[in-house]
Structures are given as C-alpha cells and as structure tokens.
Amino acid sequence: MRRYLVVLEYDGTQFHGSQVQRLQRTVQGEVEAALERLDGAPVRTVFAGRTDAGVHAQGQVVGFDLGRERNPAELAAALSGLMPGDVAAKAAAVVPAGFSPRYWAEARRYRYRLLLARVRAPLRERYAFRVGAEIDPEPMRKAAERYRGQHDFGAFGRPPQGTSTVRTLTRLDLEVRDDALDVVVEGDAFLRRMVRRLIGTLVDVGRGRTDWREAASAVDDPQNNAVGPALPAQGLTLEGVAYGRERLGLGTGRWWSSEPLVAGTDVTLARGVRK
C-alpha cells in the first residue's frame, strides 16, 4: 500500500459541501467514486478540513492509500479525467504512511471576496458576495487587528469536535482594489462557519451598523451579541493548507498546498518521494 497526497481545486456551487453525505453530491463522494474506478476497489479518503455547501477551494488536501503504486503525475491526471468539470486534482505525491491531511496541517488560509459595486455583476458574484459601495475599510481593520492572536472565538461558531473554542489567527488582512475588497484569514484551525461570521461582523462594522470596539470585544465574551451574520458561502475560498515539507519527505521549510510541491516543477509533479 502507498499513501498519497492530492491537492484539489473545486467550484463549490453545485456541491453539498466537501464531506461525504448520503444522497447528496459532495466533493469527497466524487473523489472516492473516481478512485474506486481507478483502483478497482473502494478507497476511503481523508480531507484536510470540511468546507460547507457552496464554499470553493483552490488548495484542498486529501490523503488516501492505494493498493497499486502509481506515478503521482499520472494519478492526478487520471483522477481529473474521471471527475466532473467542477473538481480537479492539481497535484499529487507519495507521502509517509502515517500522513494525516488534517492533523499534520500547520495552518489554513481562507479568502473571502467582497464586491463593492452597486450594480449586479452576475459573472463575478458566483465567487464573491456583493455588499454595495457604502463600506469603510478603516474601522474594519481596527476590529481585525483585535482578532489576531489566540482568543476564544466561541461567539463566532462551534467546534467540529471537542469543546474548545480557542483558536489562533496569524493573519486577518484586508486587501482593497478598485471595486473589490478581499479578506484573507489564516490560522491554525477554525470553528464551523467561523470565517464567514468573522467577515460578516467586519462588514457590519464597515457599514457603520456596529462600532468596531463593540465588535472587537466579541473575543472577550463568547456570548457577545455584536457578532454579525455568516455571509453567503459563494464568497469563500479555501486557498491553501500548510505542512512541514520535511515531515512530508518533500524537502525543508513550509509548503502551502496552493504552491507547487517541489520548487521549480510544474504544478502536477512528475515524481513523488517514497518512504
């Protein structure tokens, strides 16, 4: 048996989330169906993290075992060919037998796209949420600064398992350009719907509906009622998941799944590292 890491990109619009669910179309369901056709037997996969219905991914990571060894580049190409057009395998590599996409992850990065235009933009709104032009990013940045670091984010969501709602945000930045505003969130892990509630709270601050000081105090009180609504799923993309290259057997330093696995190679690897 060989353990494989595969990087997935998908348009979440027509998926009922990433995690397999009975009688629902999911990303995991499509991946496992393709792997079964490829390997001739059921293959169980593990994802780096769950994405909700409608959420997109640029660098989702999945791990699984195959009974027959395959060239990573050929594996990625074959998987993409067997899956529908809204999901693709971007890269693959052989990794150590104990590799866990979830528990080996050191960080995760999300991007939420906001459109500031007053007029509808049907082509862009598939991957963004239009909030209109009346939004001030300065108080949003003040609240965002307070959210960075380790806090109890219980006011923003529920843990996927366990009871702790303490999380660490290493990055929460606003990127403004023309008629768009992107919010980039990076941290060790996230509560369910935490990112979309964080952005919803910041949008309320930017619109003047909530004072930034009141919004910032949400990390001091899990029962805080200043938290905004979870914004629609289509604006959110899982950009990447970070791992230590040395632990994966892929060199040194940190690797983000939105980057090539080996510096200087094509996105889909021509080779894997065996352990």
How far apart, in Å, are the Cα atoms of 220 and each of 121, 143, 151, 224, 232?
38, 13, 8, 8, 26
Alpha carbon distance 113, 176 (integer Å): 10
How do 129-130 and 107-115 pair as beta strands?
Answer: parallel
Q: Reply yes or no on whether the pLDDT at 234 is more than 90.
A: yes
Band (pLDDT 50/70/90 cuts) for residue 218 is very high
Q: Are 183 and 163 contained in the same domain?
A: yes
Same domain, 231 and 213: yes
- Residue at 263 is within a domain: no
Is 138 among the domain residues? yes
Instruction: Say whether both 146 and 225 belong to one domain.
Output: yes
Domain that includes residue 128, residue range? 107-236
What is the model's pLDDT at position 273? 38
Do 139 and 95 share a domain, yes or no? no
Same-domain pairing of 14 and 77: yes
* 20 located within any domain: yes
115 shares a domain with 60? no
- Report the alpha-carbon distance of residue 189 to residue 200 in Å, rounded: 19
Read off the pLDDT band of 189 (50, 70, 90).
very high
Choice among 50-59, 75-84, 253-262 with the minimum mean pLDDT: 253-262
Calculate mean pLDDT across residues 244-260: 93
Q: What pLDDT, on a 0 to 100 scale, did the predictor assign at position 222? A: 80
Side-chain half-sphere exposure of 76, counting CA atoms within 13 A: 24
pLDDT, residue 262, reads 62
Q: Is residue 147 one of the residues assigned to a domain? A: yes
* pLDDT exceeds 60 at position 230: yes
- Residues 41 and 148 both lie in one domain: no
- 261 lies in some domain: no
112 lies in the same domain as 231: yes
Catalytic residue positions, numbered:
52
Residues 91 and 188 placed together within one structural domain of the fold: no
Q: Are residues 184 and 226 in the same domain?
A: yes
Asked, for residue 212, whether it belongs to a domain, the answer is yes
pLDDT score recorded for residue 16:
97
Total number of domains constituting the chain: 2
User: What is the average pLDDT across 73-82?
Assistant: 97
